[in-house]
Amino acid sequence: MTDQARTLIEAARDAAKNAYAPYSNFAVGAAVLLGDGTVVTGANFENASYGLSLCAETVALATVNAQGRFRDVVAIGVIGGRIGHADTAPVSPCGRCRQIINEAAQLGGCDLPVYCGGATGDRIATYKLSELLPHAFGPADLGLVDR
Ligand SMILES: [Zn+2]
């Protein structure tokens, strides 16, 4: 595991401790690395309506945007696991989050590395966003950025 991956996975695990996940009992944490080394985290945020729930990656990236840094994302770490279990299998972003990560990737002009881990353990799966979301539709298709 690289230092960058380890830092983001550990930060994501810390964030997952604050997950609001009383319905799924599945805690997810995300950590977004910015160009200056800042790490912004998020945790899943469920809702009694279920459909209004927010994923950890979405919470973290919306926070990055609120700080005016959405074009400055360089890597993302995501972890997840059942609350109260020591799950080690890497968890990868859902389809919606892959699309949201793609927004940051295209705006920043970078095929972002996405580090995926479990709630515990050293198993880390490393992907480029283009592997998780090939042939992505995004801001470049709408002329917001160059391809
Ligand atoms: Zn998601």
For residue 77, the CA-to-ligand 1 centroid distance in Å is: 13
Return the H-helix or E-strand segment holding 141. none
Q: Where are the domains of the chain?
A: 3-142
CATH homologous superfamily of domain 3-142?
Cytidine Deaminase, domain 2 (3.40.140.10)
C-alpha distance across the termini of the chain, in Å: 31
For residue 16, the CA-to-ligand 1 centroid distance in Å is: 14
For residue 36, the CA-to-ligand 1 centroid distance in Å is: 25
For residue 5, the CA-to-ligand 1 centroid distance in Å is: 19
pLDDT tens digit at each of 147 positions of the chain: 799 999 999 999 999 999 999 999 999 999 999 999 999 999 999 999 999 999 999 999 999 999 999 999 999 999 999 999 999 999 999 999 999 999 999 999 999 999 999 999 999 999 999 999 999 999 999 999 987
Q: Rounded distance, CA 88 to CA 8, Å?
A: 16
**Which positions are annotated as active-site residues?**
57
